[in-house]
Structure 1
Amino acid sequence: MFAGLSPVWRGIRRLVLFAALSAIAVLAAAPANAEEAGSADGVVLVGVPGLSWGDIDEERTPHLWSLVGGGASGAMSVRTIGSWTCPEAGWVSVGAGARAGGLNARDAACEAQTRIPAPVRGDDGTWTLPWYAELAEANAAYNYGARLGSLADAAREQGSCVAAIGRGGALAAADTEGRIDYYSPDLSDVRDAVETCRIVVVDPGVVVSNARPDTIADPDVNFDDPGRDDTDPGKGEAPDEDVPDSVRQERVRSADEAVGTVLEAIPSTWRSVVAGISDTGYPSRLHPVLYHGRGVETGSLTSPTTGRDGYVQLVDLAPTLLESVGMESPSVMSGRAVEVRADEHQTAAAARERGWDETRAAAEVARVMPGFFTTLAVVGTFAVAAGAWMVLRRARHRGAEALCTAAAAMPLGALAASVPAWWRTEHPQLSLWAVITGVVAVLVALAQWGPLRRRAHPALLVSVPIILYVVVDQVSGSTWPLHTPMGYTAQAGARFAGLGNYAFAAFTAAVVLTIALTPWDRSPWRPDLARFVGPVALSLAAVAITGAPTMGRNVGGTITLVAALIVTCWVLWGRRFSLGLLLGAGAIGVVVIALAGIADYMRPADSQTHLGRFVGSVLSGDAGDVLARKITAAVSTLWHTPLVAVVAVAAVASLLIWRRLGRPRHDAVYAAMTGLLIASAAGFALNDSGITIPAFIAGTGFTLLAVAATPVAPDRSGRPLAASDEPEG
């Protein structure tokens, strides 16, 4: 009576084995624990809103120049809430150690958030910020989980305090109730502040900007809407800070003099941090952070939140201040203490040039992204329509096939564009498009070339290079996709290392197609075994690349990929697709990423990636805010990206093909179709990039699958080629 259940039990055993092997593959890459650095007697932070790498000059800013040459430095993303950060939000985020927003409106010239009110002194001599409760309430609505005043609370709990000089410093030094342990508006009191508290935050009252009053934006625009597309330049841009301006230069000199005053007032046993803690208008830029003093070696800075040498985030400043004096950071802080990559041969000129190059690259990526995604949407939409047309007529067309191949190859072209450093050329955008076009042209030519076309499936000629690129990049340290519209932009501060969501989507489509369309049964070694071992091995490798803490680090992507690959393999092996299979595959994906996250969480806090930090947010009860924010961001993409057109056309085309042709007769085509569908739906639900995930999967997966599902041409009788020659839809 149990004979009929044996296939089910065999399937369950395979699913469990897949989950175990996937978890082992992900956990195998856990990095070693980091060593703790020595501490100083105290630390001072000097925040200069708007300070750019381009402002630092040996003659004009001698104090800043000496810090660059005598300590460690890095490029800092000041991203908090929205695509650019004004001074008020920057100071508040320093005090929270997490992304926070200001109380005043955020305009394109940051005029409102530059005018920070002074704290009030009570009859008992204590300083407070009377509006602090309103500020905390506003941040609670942002759902970023920021606990304002965490820096001051942590210092007080560990036997010290945070002193503030200047109005911005007061925002950063206030505790959760808006109280300040020590406050003075005058730089001459820095020495007194040093004697009072081990952590001092200084606002010298200088905003480095050449913005003018007429640059403020339309007051009817809600800049603080988290779902708004902040790449739209039509908001009233502030002047470009690259433009020489006597007013800006005078402000930079004032900032440098203030830094010199502070450095003279602190003991030699202290450390100093000088940072451009915010933008001063739209668009955002990377800003310098300079770390100097006792125990700090010359070199570059990095942080566990970025996982990339030379880059840190604004939220890392508070943990760094605490770590500098031997204090622990509270778990509510999303930032982590910076780490120094020592380089005794580093010069100030070399460090400045590196920081300026990183700033320039991030700015150029931001400029090209709107045009890139618009072009990708147009090409992808026509390619999906062309692919559907071929499937419905049951015969390939050279032009339509070339268009499908070109659309599928565009993501790889954009990923590869970062290798030749296109942003350093005289015409950056032209150079970027030259690389993209070159890669696309090569892949289209290979797919159309007769000898190669007869030996390899055209869909695999695009899918396999995508897989190889991602694998090589992730194994080698994820060094390529930072400065590309397909990767992640440093100034956005969302992701600096690992597998970005756009690249993940193209990678997923390529893996699903490769597993489904590879002729495993033609293997010279045990074809009956190869059709099982090959897909499983490729699946495990893809999951490890996507989810390992030292490689992909993509939480939602790992769950998505595991579910999609289980379904793909199951259907490829001739099994029946069901709702139970889908739920089981999703559960296994959750288990895999949970095990990887727990292993990451068990390591020291300063060594954790965002996988471990997310587990910490689950345990602390803050995960709800994170998930709510990501869901809001995902839903907002439905009306904020042109790529939604690709998904709409792909959905209509799929329904039309299904109604006219029904279920594909070839298991490979059906397996690929099912896997791509699951990946699209789960990717939309589990990634804050939202609709862009299914858009990239459709642009790469649907187009190549359409080529795979369509015979080259009808035979003389008018019937399509046999399934043994070409997969048939």
Structure 2
Amino acid sequence: MRSWRVRRMLARALFLAAAAASLAAASPPVQATAETSGPQGRAPRASSQAPAGESAGESLLAQVVVIGVPGLTWSDVKASPELTALVGKSNAGSITVKTAGPHTCPIDGWLTLGAGTRAWGSVPDEPCGDLPALVDGKIQNWQTYVDRQAEHHTGAPIGRLGQAGHPICGFGPGAAIALARTDGTVANWRPTFEAAALGNCSDAIVDGGAMPIREGRAEARRKVAELVTQATAAGAWVVLAGISQEVEWAHQQPLVALQLPPDGEPRWLTSDSTRRPGLIQLTDLTATILRGRDAANVDPAGEETAGPLDGTAITVTGDAHTDPAAVIEDRLDTNERFEQPRPMLVAVSLTILAAELLALGWFLISRSRRSRSTFGFTLLTQGGFFVAVFLSTATVWWRWPSPGLSLYFVVLAISALFAVLAKLLLGRYAYVGIALAAYLILLVDGVLGTPLQFGSMFTDGPVIGGRFYGFGNSTFATLAVATLVVAGWAAQRLIDRSRVQAALAVLAIGGAAIVVDGRPGWGTDFGGIIALTPAVLLMAWLTWRGGISLRALIGIGAAGVLAVSAVAYLDYLRPEDQRSHFGTFVARLLDGDVNDVLIRKLEMAVQFFAGPAGWAMLAGVMLAMLATVLPDRVPSASYRAFFGSRPMVRPALLALSTCGLVGMLLNDAGVALPAIMTGFALPLLVAHLVASPTPATVSPESHLVQEH
């Protein structure tokens, strides 16, 4: 009777763990903006700009004029006294102009602005061409751009702004593209800017002209400043923004975003789509123009024309800024923050790899105690690297001299420091300390809104326009390994006392990671909980029962699907401007607009196999997974003995393989996700084996006793 009750209690616990993420989704997400100067999801309005007959604070907003300038950088602002003067009376920030294609030419930027979602306009591997002309009231070759969206499965509804049910005026060639209707025709358009014509427009888009690469750039900057001054004098709420990153393959850096006049003191631009002070994205401009309009997705005839917007309306946050020069230097420093991590990631990784190979060679030749210890230290340093990539952002290295070199040495130093501390404190079980550090740091970072992710080596910067908040694929891979290793260690400490307690420990440790990884506003990682939930449930079941049947395996899979579905649906129930990736996916699914999303993700997953590196990763990942399923076939006596030395080794390794396999099959990162997991887990495992010449057979109670 008692055995039946225990089994029922464990079954309930497994079900509750599967539902943990959905319970977390019931509360609202953390908002990045401490305060906004307008209603939630709407652009702030300047009280001085309230139309006649309205008092400040009412919901009707002032006229918005977006002045788009392809290629306008913060270096341009620094070089222009006129633009520098504008910074002092503007809400300021940078804008990411990532579109659907590999490069953002002016045509990509203007099409994306008109669609409100990332569009594809340029031809890959070709320089940016001229904008198409307006001939007889229609964009020339418009059907080419419509077909290009279908060809690349962007799902971008180009023509959205042109179909809006209120008069938006356009000035200049780029504005014609942004305001073209779905058939390519354009209305309310003038070839050049006329401030007097703004009186007949609800809102307006102005093409400020692409910034020349060399000659004429200073004159272009003066023209832009003059346009902003004219539009502001006409009583508009003006947003000056870079529209495209590439003009004849120009150098990439975050582009300019200014909004004036501010409502009160100048502060930092942000939006709910980025949740980062000082950063907006291109599609936020579309959402700002369509702010609070009932006709955002409906044409004048009342027919639906498009799905959800990718962006949200611009708001402001943070402390007031009073020094234009300080704002400009902050933005230029931010450029270093996002430009350096990727090249330094390669440099640090190659340095650690070289150290490992040299230490391995020494060990194989000498077999001395010192060479063994050195080799183990280099392996632990690689494990510490997966902690250092996040902690390095806390040092604010981009403000140091020689930011690239500073980042290089900071990451190496933190990696080595964790290896030293773990070795000194835990001996041959140092791997547990590194995994525990990664687990706790990422959980705390997730709850705080992921401040350590932004600008780290594992996160795309605003030029790439990847993930602005939450956990990306590399971060999830780190968290997954840390979670399963820590859960396996904790269960090993308890399993001799009670398999029930050990399984509950796995559920508690894994459940906390699932909640933080999946909760909207924290990790907000849709693909992550799809992979981690079944891995945690599998480990808990194997811990409890020691084996698993096909029926139980199907039940675990169903529980994982239930948890993910519950999170996504509860997020979908939020207001549209508060949804994360989960709710947006459900909205597209219900609208029948999900095919393009799935195809794009599949294309991203398979692109790794375009070269030998992807196939090499796949081979390595499959060998690692096979080693967990067929340990007797591994040509290492030390590994085979280790696999059977403790009850929790097999469940932990199988859970790691399950997480990696599911992530590879269902995540847009494809084979890269389990490859990153292997890059973290394998050095920790080998370091433990190297530190243990004979497999450990001690009891779990002495698991942390250092052996020499």
2:196 pairs with 1:191: yes
Residues 12 and 573 (structure 1), Cα distance of their counterparts in 2 relative to 1, 3 Å cut? closer
Q: Is the contact between residue 304 and residue 336 of structure 1 (CA under 8 Å) also seen in structure 2?
A: yes
Q: Where does residue 532 of structure 1 map in the other structure?
A: 503
Q: Where does residue 238 of structure 2 map in the other structure?
A: 272
Q: Is the contact between residue 409 and residue 439 of structure 1 (CA under 8 Å) also seen in structure 2?
A: yes
Q: Is the contact between residue 669 and residue 709 of structure 1 (CA under 8 Å) also seen in structure 2?
A: no
Identity of matched residues, %: 27
Q: Which moved more, 1:293-302 or 1:87-96?
A: 293-302
Q: Where does residue 300 of structure 2 map in the other structure?
A: none
Q: Where does residue 50 of structure 1 map in the other structure?
A: 71
Note the 1:618-657 alignment, pairs <5 A.
618-639=589-610, 642=613, 645=616, 648-652=619-623, 655=626, 657=631
Q: CA deviation at 1:587?
A: 2.9
Q: Where does residue 314 of structure 1 map in the other structure?
A: 282
Mapped partners of 1:106, 1:169: distance in 2: 25
Residues 294 and 511 (structure 1), Cα distance of their counterparts in 2 relative to 1, 3 Å cut? closer
Mapped partners of 1:345, 1:653: distance in 2: 52
Mapped partners of 1:135, 1:586: distance in 2: 42
2:258 pairs with 1:290: yes
Deviations 1:480-506 (A, max 9, x none): 221121233222111111112111101
Q: Is the contact between residue 265 and residue 321 of structure 2 (CA under 8 Å) also seen in structure 1?
A: no
* Aligned-partner residue type, residue 330 of structure 2: R
Q: Is the contact between residue 146 and residue 333 of structure 1 (CA under 8 Å) also seen in structure 2?
A: no
Mapped partners of 1:544, 1:136: distance in 2: 41
Q: CA deviation at 1:617?
A: 1.2
Q: Which moved more, 1:358-367 or 1:300-309?
A: 358-367
Mapped partners of 1:259, 1:640: distance in 2: 47
2:141 pairs with 1:120: no
Deviations 1:250-298 (A, max 9, x none): 332233233334444x3x2x31111111112254321111122485863
Q: Is the contact between residue 384 and residue 434 of structure 2 (CA under 8 Å) also seen in structure 1?
A: yes
Q: Is the contact between residue 271 and residue 324 of structure 1 (CA under 8 Å) also seen in structure 2?
A: no
Note the 1:68-467 alignment, pairs <5 A.
68-104=87-123, 107=126, 110-112=127-129, 115-121=130-136, 127-153=137-163, 155-156=164-165, 160-187=166-193, 189-192=194-197, 194-204=198-208, 206-210=209-213, 247-264=216-233, 266=234, 268=235, 270-279=236-245, 280=247, 281-293=249-261, 298-323=266-291, 328=296, 331-341=307-317, 343-372=319-348, 397-449=372-424, 452-453=426-427, 457-467=429-439
Q: Where does residue 576 of structure 2 map in the other structure?
A: 605
Deviations 1:5-35 (A, max 9, x none): 9998666434322223342134346347937
Partner SS for 2:119: coil
Q: Is the contact between residue 372 and residue 690 of structure 2 (CA under 8 Å) also seen in structure 1?
A: no
Q: Is the contact between residue 41 and residue 313 of structure 2 (CA under 8 Å) also seen in structure 1?
A: no
Note the 1:560-639 alignment, pairs <5 A.
560-639=531-610
* Aligned-partner residue type, residue 657 of structure 2: L
Mapped partners of 2:30, 2:623: distance in 1: 45
Mapped partners of 1:512, 1:547: distance in 2: 16
Note the 1:486-505 alignment, pairs <5 A.
486-505=458-477
Q: CA deviation at 1:378?
A: 7.0
Mapped partners of 1:177, 1:579: distance in 2: 54
Q: Where does residue 61 of structure 2 map in the other structure?
A: 40
Mapped partners of 1:507, 1:434: distance in 2: 24
Partner SS for 1:290: strand
Q: CA deviation at 1:41?
A: 4.0
Partner SS for 1:163: strand
Residues 532 and 28 (structure 1), Cα distance of their counterparts in 2 relative to 1, 3 Å cut? farther
Q: Is the contact between residue 76 and residue 314 of structure 1 (CA under 8 Å) also seen in structure 2?
A: yes
Q: CA deviation at 1:533?
A: 3.3
Residues 366 and 85 (structure 1), Cα distance of their counterparts in 2 relative to 1, 3 Å cut? farther
Q: CA deviation at 1:369?
A: 4.3
Q: Which moved more, 1:534-543 or 1:598-607?
A: 598-607
Where structure 2 has 5 or more consecutive residues not aligned to the other structure, the ranges are 32-38, 45-58, 298-305, 365-370, 635-639
Mapped partners of 2:668, 2:97: distance in 1: 20
Q: CA deviation at 1:722?
A: 4.6
Q: CA deviation at 1:199?
A: 2.1
Mapped partners of 1:98, 1:8: distance in 2: 50
Deviations 1:296-338 (A, max 9, x none): 8631111122122211111111111111778646633222112
2:669 pairs with 1:689: yes
* Aligned-partner residue type, residue 403 of structure 1: T
Q: Which moved more, 1:613-622 or 1:97-106?
A: 97-106
Deviations 1:327-373 (A, max 9, x none): 64663322211222164454433333332222232122344344456
Q: CA deviation at 1:615?
A: 1.7
Q: Which moved more, 1:299-308 or 1:438-447?
A: 438-447
Mapped partners of 1:296, 1:367: distance in 2: 41
Q: Is the contact between residue 120 and residue 149 of structure 2 (CA under 8 Å) also seen in structure 1?
A: yes
Mapped partners of 2:375, 2:62: distance in 1: 69
Partner SS for 1:473: helix
Deviations 1:462-497 (A, max 9, x none): 101111211221222211221121233222111111
Q: Where does residue 234 of structure 1 map in the other structure?
A: none
Mapped partners of 1:412, 1:446: distance in 2: 13
Mapped partners of 1:686, 1:284: distance in 2: 32
Partner SS for 1:44: strand
Q: Where does residue 25 of structure 1 map in the other structure?
A: 24
2:529 pairs with 1:558: yes
* Aligned-partner residue type, residue 503 of structure 2: F
Q: Which moved more, 1:270-279 or 1:88-97?
A: 270-279
Q: CA deviation at 1:131?
A: 1.3
Partner SS for 2:240: strand
* Aligned-partner residue type, residue 532 of structure 2: L
2:80 pairs with 1:60: yes
Q: CA deviation at 1:377?
A: 7.2
Q: TM-score scaled by structure 1?
A: 0.82
Partner SS for 2:463: helix
Mapped partners of 1:373, 1:176: distance in 2: 48
Q: CA deviation at 1:448?
A: 3.1
Partner SS for 2:19: helix
Q: Is the contact between residue 25 and residue 571 of structure 2 (CA under 8 Å) also seen in structure 1?
A: no
Q: Is the contact between residue 21 and residue 564 of structure 2 (CA under 8 Å) also seen in structure 1?
A: no
2:479 pairs with 1:507: yes
Where structure 1 has 5 or more consecutive residues not aligned to the other structure, the ranges are 122-126, 211-244, 390-395
Residues 403 and 643 (structure 1), Cα distance of their counterparts in 2 relative to 1, 3 Å cut? farther
Q: CA deviation at 1:70?
A: 2.3
Q: Which moved more, 1:66-75 or 1:321-330?
A: 321-330
Mapped partners of 1:83, 1:35: distance in 2: 29
Q: TM-score scaled by structure 2?
A: 0.84
Mapped partners of 1:435, 1:444: distance in 2: 14
Residues 111 and 494 (structure 1), Cα distance of their counterparts in 2 relative to 1, 3 Å cut? closer
